[in-house]
Amino acid sequence: CGCKGIRSCLLCEGPAQAAPPLQLFPQGEDNFTYCPATGLAVGNEHSEFAGWAFPFPGVFLMEEFISEEEESEIVELMDRDDWKPSQSGRRKQDYGPKVNFKKQRLKPGSFSGLPSFSKKIVAQMEACSVLGGFSPVEQCNLDYRPERGSAIDPHFDDCWLWGERLVTLNLLSQTVLSMSCDSEGSIQLFPTSSKENGERSPHGPLPAGSDAGQERMNCPEPPRLVPCREVRVGIALARRSLLVLRGAARYGWKHGIHRHHIRRRRLGLTFRELSAEFSPGGAQEELGRELLAIALSFQGRPV
């Protein structure tokens, strides 16, 4: 396997044990669930935060981004190329420049562009309101399998080279992206209340003229402050869904995938754009322009 340091997988830990039944949000893991319809992180039913919620900005989620036929074609083309062992039971295919993030140095190296099948994917991204002007300069494909104990530790993506929007296409099976925060600050939770139609809403700031004012006044519970470190938000990723992280979700929250959320083969295709330093007007604009020209030729092979 490709594990180094403290990381491990089932290949280096020993024979895999029988996996427990799938629980998208098991106790001790994610205690909030992201709701795409409201943009809220809602306390899970069996957690101590049941009945509480807070705004969770910076997440865009689109289900059925591609069709089953398109998914099959993409996976078939990906599997024609070699997969390299990676850490924590993953395999990878990289399409991007050669980078030393610690020394903040990079060069094109053997980078020959994004793969040909991604040209259509990138074109479809243009229809997403949050992806205006998105020009990916790097693509990383990750292959997760339960028999390898695949996972990825909570982390921030690099900010020196990669820009604000991180875009991931989730293929072959559902999973959960777990968001965590190491900040010393606190998060203000608002109690939720049941409505006649069964929906729940937070008693947060209300728009002027809202008819919910009386309902808020009758709410017996005031807002609640909890340490950021105690909050973990799960974002359910359906098969063939597209996820965009930006703003607070990109820079304020780490993201990762736990081993028990991989029950079948799962492929994640992550696209990254350039940071301001490598964009027009930035200190390394010329290098950024060169990298983009290579990337968007769509003639690449894994490096």
Residue 253 in tokens: 């929250």
What kind and span of H or E run contains 50? none
> Which of 197-206, 219-228, 258-267 ranks highest by mean pLDDT?
258-267
User: Confidence class of residue 129 from pLDDT cuts 50, 70 and 90?
Assistant: very high
Amino acid, single-letter form, for residue 72: S
| pLDDT tens figures, 266-276 | 999 999 999 99
Amino acid, single-letter form, for residue 114: L
Report the pLDDT averaged over residues 204-224: 51
pLDDT of amino acid 27: 41
In sequence order, the 6+-apart residues with CB closer than 8 A to the CB of 286 are none
Are the beta carbons of 137 and 272 closer than 8 angstroms?
yes
| 287 C-beta neighbours (distance < 10 Å), count | 17
User: Confidence class of residue 208 from pLDDT cuts 50, 70 and 90?
Assistant: very low
Are the beta carbons of 154 and 284 closer than 8 angstroms?
no
Give me the residue spans of the domains in the chain.
30-190+241-296
For the chain, report the end-to-end CA distance as a whole number of angstroms: 18
In this predicted model, which residue has the larger pLDDT, 220 or 40? 40
Arithmetic mean of pLDDT over the chain: 90
Are the beta carbons of 291 and 278 closer than 8 angstroms?
yes
The model carries a pTM of 0.88
Residue 124 in tokens: 């479809």
Backbone angles phi, psi at 233, to 5 degrees: -110, 125
| CATH number for region 30-190+241-296 | 2.60.120.590
Residue 209 in tokens: 């003229």
